[in-house]
Amino acid sequence: MFVSQAYGSVLEGERALLDVIASVTSQPTVHDLFRDLTDKLSRFVHFDRLGLLLHDEACNEIVLAELFSTLPHGAHSGIRFRFDETPVGEVIRDQKLFHIPDVPSESRYPVVLELLRQERLRTFCYVPLSTPSHRLGALGIGTRAEVQYSDAQLALLERALRPVAIAVDNIVNRERLERSHDRLKLLLEVNNALVTEHDPQALFEGISRLLQRFVSHEFIAVAIWVPEESKLRLRYAATREPAPLRHPDHPLGLEDTPSGRAFVTGSLQCYDHEQLARMAGIIRDMAAELRIRSMCSMPLKTARGKIGTISIGSRQDGAFPPEKTGILQALAGQVSIAVENALSFARVEELNRRLSETKLYLEEELQAVAPSDEILGSSAAVRKVLQQIKTVAPTDATVLIYGETGSGKELVARALHQQSPRGRGTFVKLNCAAIPSGLLESELFGHEKGAFTGAIAQKIGRFEIAHQGTLFLDEIGEIPLELQPKLLRVLQEKEFERLGGTRTIRSDARLVSATNRDLKTMVETNRFRGDLFYRLNVFPIAVPPLRERKEDIPYLAMHFTQEYSRRLGRKIRSIAAETIEQLVRYPWPGNIRELQNLIERSVILTAGDTLRIPAQELQAEGLAAVAPAPTPLATMQDVERETIVRALREAKGVVGGPNGAAARLGMKRTTLLYRMEKLGLAKPGA
Dihedrals phi, psi of 511, to nearest 5 degrees = -100, 125
Asked if 402 and 537 count as a contact pair (C-beta separation under 8 A), the reply is no
Stretch (H or E) spanning 477: none
% residues pLDDT > 90 (the chain): 22
Strands (E) across 164-288 are located at 219-226, 231-238, 250-252, 269-272
Residue 279: pLDDT band (50, 70, 90) is: confident
CB atoms under 10 Å from CB of 620, counted, come to 12
DSSP-derived letter for residue 647 is H
Dihedrals phi, psi of 626, to nearest 5 degrees = -115, 130
Asked if 527 and 537 count as a contact pair (C-beta separation under 8 A), the reply is no
Q: Tell me the per-residue pLDDT of 42-81, one tens digit each, with 9 for 90 and over.
A: 877 889 999 999 998 877 899 998 888 887 665 667 788 9
CB atoms under 10 Å from CB of 331, counted, come to 23
Residue 639: pLDDT band (50, 70, 90) is: low
Cα-Cα-Cα-Cα torsion 639, 640, 645, 650, nearest 10 degrees, comes to 100
Q: What is the C-alpha to C-alpha distance for residues 291 and 288, in angstroms, rounded to an integer?
A: 5
User: Across all residues in the chain, what is the average pLDDT?
Assistant: 80
Q: What is the C-alpha to C-alpha distance for residues 25 and 23, in angstroms, rounded to an integer?
A: 6
% residues pLDDT > 70 (the chain): 80
Q: Is 72 left (phi over 0), alpha (psi -120 to 50) or beta?
A: alpha
Residue 622: pLDDT band (50, 70, 90) is: low
Taken in order of first residue, the domains within the chain and their CATH numbers are 3-175 (3.30.450.40), 195-346 (3.30.450.40), 375-544 (3.40.50.300), 547-650 (1.10.8.60)
Asked if 556 and 592 count as a contact pair (C-beta separation under 8 A), the reply is yes
Q: Please give the average per-residue pLDDT across 415-436, as a whole number.
A: 89
Residue 182: pLDDT band (50, 70, 90) is: low
Does the pLDDT at position 231 exceed 50? yes
Dihedrals phi, psi of 494, to nearest 5 degrees = 60, 35
User: Half-sphere exposure of residue 596, counting CA atoms within 13 Å on the CB side?
Assistant: 14
pTM of structure: 0.51
Closest Cα partner for 98 from 23, 15, 158? 158
Q: Please give the average per-residue pLDDT across 285-312, as a whole number.
A: 84
Q: Please give the average per-residue pLDDT across 199-205, as a whole number.
A: 69
Q: Tell me the per-residue pLDDT of 108-156, one tens digit each, with 9 for 90 and over.
A: 999 899 888 888 899 999 999 998 888 999 999 999 988 788 888 888 7
Closest Cα partner for 190 from 209, 217, 216, 175? 209
- Choose between 202 and 550: higher pLDDT: 550
Stretch (H or E) spanning 601: helix 591-605
Residue 412: pLDDT band (50, 70, 90) is: very high
- Give Rg (Cα) of the chain: 43
Residue 371: pLDDT band (50, 70, 90) is: very low
Asked if 617 and 601 count as a contact pair (C-beta separation under 8 A), the reply is yes
Q: What is the C-alpha to C-alpha distance for residues 95 and 127, in angstroms, rounded to an integer?
A: 9
Q: Please give the average per-residue pLDDT across 153-174, as a whole number.
A: 83
Query: What amino acid is encoded at 346 in this protein?
Result: A
Sign (positive or negative) of CA dihedral 309, 315, 317, 322: negative
Closest Cα partner for 371 from 413, 418, 410, 404? 410
Q: Please give the average per-residue pLDDT across 194-200, as a whole number.
A: 63
- Choose between 640 and 317: higher pLDDT: 317
Q: Which whole-number Å values give the CA distances from 679 to 217, 641, 675, in the listed order?
A: 83, 7, 6
Q: What is the C-alpha to C-alpha distance for residues 223 and 162, in angstroms, rounded to an integer?
A: 51
Q: Please give the average per-residue pLDDT across 496-517, as a whole number.
A: 88
Q: Is 501 left (phi over 0), alpha (psi -120 to 50) or beta?
A: beta
Q: In sequence order, which residues have a C-beta less than 8 Å from that of residue 28 and are 6 or more positions away? A: 171
User: Half-sphere exposure of residue 184, counting CA atoms within 13 Å on the CB side?
Assistant: 5
Q: CA 273, 276, 279 angle in degrees (round to 5)? A: 160
